[in-house]
Structure 1
C-alpha cells in the first residue's frame, strides 16, 4: 500500500566540439546563472562537481528506474556525479534530525508535498526554489516556469517560498471498469442525484452495494468525508473547520447536511457487503474482479489492483459528483517533488539536476514507465489515467484534504481518522459524528 496514502566521457578528438560537450557547456552556463540568483538563500553552493540525493523510492520501483536513467545521462552530459540513496517512504523522517546541524547528508530529497512542508518548510529548513523557475530546461527553448504550470507551483509556495518542485501529480477519483459499464464511460454522472440514480440501478443489478471501500484503511475512508464537505460547503471548507480550534464549525447544520449525503450511502447499503470488516486489499480485489463497481481512490488505483483485474478491464474514472448544477467541482491533488535543504552543501548542482529532469525526454518516463501523471501538460498521461489528466486541465485543482495532513497531521491521525472510520462504517450518525468531532477537537487543541 503506497503512502496515500504512495512507488563524464572523454572529449572528442575532433577539433570541433562534440554535441555532448556543447550540451555540457550550455548546462554549466545555465546553472551558473541559477546559482548566482539563488545565492541569497543557499548556505553553500559547492564545487558543482557532485551532490547527494536521497529518494523516497526503493531501487526496484518504476520511478527509481526513471530517475536512475536520468541521473546516468545527467552525469554523462555534465560530468556531475550524483550519489543517490534509495531510502524509501520514510526519507524525510530520516533526514529531519540532521537539518539543523552543520552536516546535512543530502543535497536533494524527494517526497510527497505534505512531508516536505511539515519537515522542511515549517521548520525553516527548505531552500527557496523560486530562482530555479528561471533556469533553462536543457534541450528545450523555455524555462522551468514555462513547463510547470503555476497552479501546481502555487500549491507548493508558502509566504513566497517555493519549498518543493513537483514532478508527479496524484489525484483521487471514482474508478470503474469502462468495458463493463460503457454507458458510464460515455457519460459519467456529474451531479449527486445522477450518481445516486446510477448506484440504485447498479445495486439492483449486482444484488450488492456497488461502492468499494476497505474501511480498515482510514485514509481511504477520509476521501468520502472530505469530498462531501467540499461539495456541500465549498472548496476549503474542511480546512477552515479544522482551523476552528473551538470545534464549533463541525456542529453547524451545513456541515451536518453535507455529511448526510454519505450517511445515506452507508445506511442504504450502497457499500459492498463486508467493507466494514475487510482487511485491505480484500475489497479492492473484489472490485477489480467486477463484484462491485466504484472505488474512490487515488491515481495509484490501477497499480494497486492490476494483478487482480482481468485482461478486458478498462480503467476509467470520474470526479466526485457535485451536489448541484452550480456546486463545487474542484479536483483534489497532492504532489511529489524535489526539495533542497537550506544547509545543503551542494545546492547548485542539485538545482541543476532539477531543471535537467524536468525536460520532457526525462520526465515523460514518469508517465510511460511509472504510469503516473506529470505536471507537464505536454506529456500525455498513461491511458488508464487519461480521465484524471482531463480533470486537471478543466477543473480547479486544490490541495488534497485542504492540506490538513500538512497543517494538522497529528489531529488528523488521532482525532479525525478514528471517528471518521466509525462514521463510514455506520457506528456514528452524521450528527453524532459532528458532535464528537467538535468536542474531541476542542479537547485536543487545548492540550496540543
Structure 2
C-alpha cells in the first residue's frame, strides 16, 4: 500500500496561493476540486491534489508499457475537506505509485487539451462525463476502456444510463464515472403540510399547484439568475427533456438542430407559461441566496441540484424533500439531469495498464463510499454495490430516482460547452424579461450559437 508524506507548502504567490502538490509513494502534497459552477456548490464535482501552478504537468519518467511504472493523475483543486477525502482514498491505492497534480479549475479547463495532446500526457485525468469527453475521443485522444464495462469489469453492473453517458457515438466507452448528483424540484415538507398541498405527479397538477399557491400569496417558484444566470438553463433543460426527449436535447446542444425549430418554440412557450409563478426578485438572487425565500416559506419550490442541502441552514436540511419535474408527454422516455464526475485516460498514457488499474480502484464500492463519507458531500455513488444504509433518506431517494431513469443528461454547459452556455444565459434572461419577444430572441440565440459551433 502506498504511503504519502506531507511536505510544507511553498510560499504562496498571487498566482499559486495555497497550491501544493502530492506524490503518493514519494513526497509532495495537494488537493482536489469541484469543477463547474453547480458542482462546485455540491461538493459532487471532481476533487484532487493541488498541483504546482502553471504549465503542463511534469510527466513521470517511466517505461511506456511497464505496468508497475509510476502514474500521474491530473485534476483541479478546491476546499480542504474534499481534498483530504481524495488523498485518503488514493493513498490506499494498492497499485503503482501515483503522483497527483492539480491546478486551479479555470487553468485546468484552459490546459485540458494541452494535457491530452502532449507527447507525455498524464496517465489519468479527472473530468466530467458528457460532450467534452466525447469530443476528445473523436480526436483519438482517449483510451478505450470498454473492457471495464463488460464481463467482470468494474463498471459492468453500472446503470445503462451511466454507460450511455460514458460512451462515444460508435458505442465505445471512454469514461469511468465515480460520482454524480441530481437535479429536482425541492420543497419544504412542513410548508407543503401547512399549506395543505401535495407534490404533483403530472404537469397539469403542477400548474394547478402553482395556481393554488399563488392564490395563497406564496411565490410558487424561486430561482437565482442574478449573478448566476446559468440557473435559467435548468428549466430550459428539463422542459426540453420532457417535451422533446434526451436525444433531441443532446443533438440541439451539439448544433444538429436550430434554436428556432418548432420543437424549441414549444419548449419556450411552456417556459413562458410558468414565468408568472417565479419570485419577482429572482434577478437579484444568485443560486445560493435563492434558497432564502424557500427557507422563509415565502416561496414554495426550487428547481436546483442536490447541493441545495449545503446552502440551507442545518435545521432545514431534514425538512427538505423533492420531486422530479413531472412528465409532460408520456411517450417521451424519462430523463434526469445528473452531472457526473469521474476519470478518463489518455490514449498515449505512459502506463495504460496502470491507468486502468487506478480508475478501476476509484470506481470500486469501498473507495467510492469512503470518499463520499469523508467528504460529507451531497454526491451519490455510481456503483450499485456501495453500502447506502447510512445515507440520508433524501440521498437514498435521489439514488433511487437516478437508478430508474431511462436517460441521464448533465447540465446545459456540460452537454455542450461553456461558450454555448453564455449564449443561453443571454437568451434566457432576455426571454424572462421580455417573453413576448420570443421569435427574435430565438433567432439571435441561433446566430450566437452558430458562431460557437463554427469556432
Measured against the shorter chain, the TM-score band is: 0.7 to 0.9
Report the secondary structure of 1:168's partner residue: strand
The residue number in structure 2 matching 1:27 is none
Q: Which moved more, 1:366-375 or 1:237-246?
A: 237-246
- Mapping 1:5-404, distance limit 5 Å: 5-7=38-40, 44-58=64-78, 60-62=80-82, 64-74=83-93, 77-78=94-95, 80-90=96-106, 91-104=108-121, 106-114=122-130, 116-117=132-133, 120-133=136-149, 143-158=153-168, 159-182=170-193, 188-205=199-216, 207-216=217-226, 217-242=228-253, 247=258, 250-252=260-262, 254-266=263-275, 268=276, 270-303=277-310, 305-306=311-312, 308=313, 310-311=315-316, 313-324=318-329, 329-368=334-373, 369-379=376-386, 380=388, 382-400=392-410
Cα deviation for residue 366 of structure 1 reads 4.2
Q: Return 5+ residue gaps in structure 2 as ranges.
A: 1-33, 41-62
- Cα distance in 2, alignment partners of residues 81 and 154 from structure 1: 32
- Cα distance in 1, alignment partners of residues 294 and 257 from structure 2: 40
Contact 2:282 2:290 in 1 (8 A): yes
Q: Which moved more, 1:421-430 or 1:291-300?
A: 421-430
Report the secondary structure of 2:385's partner residue: coil
Cα deviation for residue 337 of structure 1 reads 0.6
- Cα distance in 1, alignment partners of residues 132 and 452 from structure 2: 24
- Cα distance in 2, alignment partners of residues 319 and 191 from structure 1: 10
The residue number in structure 1 matching 2:4 is none
Contact 1:373 1:382 in 2 (8 A): no
- Cα distance in 1, alignment partners of residues 418 and 78 from structure 2: 26
CA change 1:65–1:377 in 2 (3 A) is: same
Cα deviation for residue 47 of structure 1 reads 4.6
Report the secondary structure of 2:162's partner residue: helix
CA change 1:50–1:2 in 2 (3 A) is: closer
Normalising by the residue count of structure 2, what TM-score does the alignment of the two structures yield?
0.75
The residue number in structure 1 matching 2:36 is 3
Report the secondary structure of 1:55's partner residue: strand
CA change 1:350–1:328 in 2 (3 A) is: closer
- Cα distance in 2, alignment partners of residues 201 and 111 from structure 1: 43
Offset from partner CA, 1:117-174 (integer Å, 9 cap, x none): 1663243211111233468xxxxxx541334233312211112332210001232111
CA change 1:257–1:153 in 2 (3 A) is: closer
CA change 1:61–1:55 in 2 (3 A) is: farther
Contact 1:208 1:273 in 2 (8 A): no
Contact 1:302 1:384 in 2 (8 A): no
**More relative contact order, 1 or 2 (CA 8 Å, 6+ apart):** 1
CA change 1:45–1:378 in 2 (3 A) is: same
Asked which structure has the greater CA Rg, the reply is: 1
Offset from partner CA, 1:300-344 (integer Å, 9 cap, x none): 2222x13x3534642211111112555553223231011111222
Contact 1:367 1:382 in 2 (8 A): no
CA change 1:165–1:321 in 2 (3 A) is: same
Contact 1:55 1:84 in 2 (8 A): yes
Q: Return 5+ residue gaps in structure 1 as ranges.
A: 8-42, 136-141
Contact 1:116 1:163 in 2 (8 A): no
Normalising by the residue count of structure 1, what TM-score does the alignment of the two structures yield?
0.77
Offset from partner CA, 1:175-203 (integer Å, 9 cap, x none): 11223324999952121111111122222
Aligned residues: 392
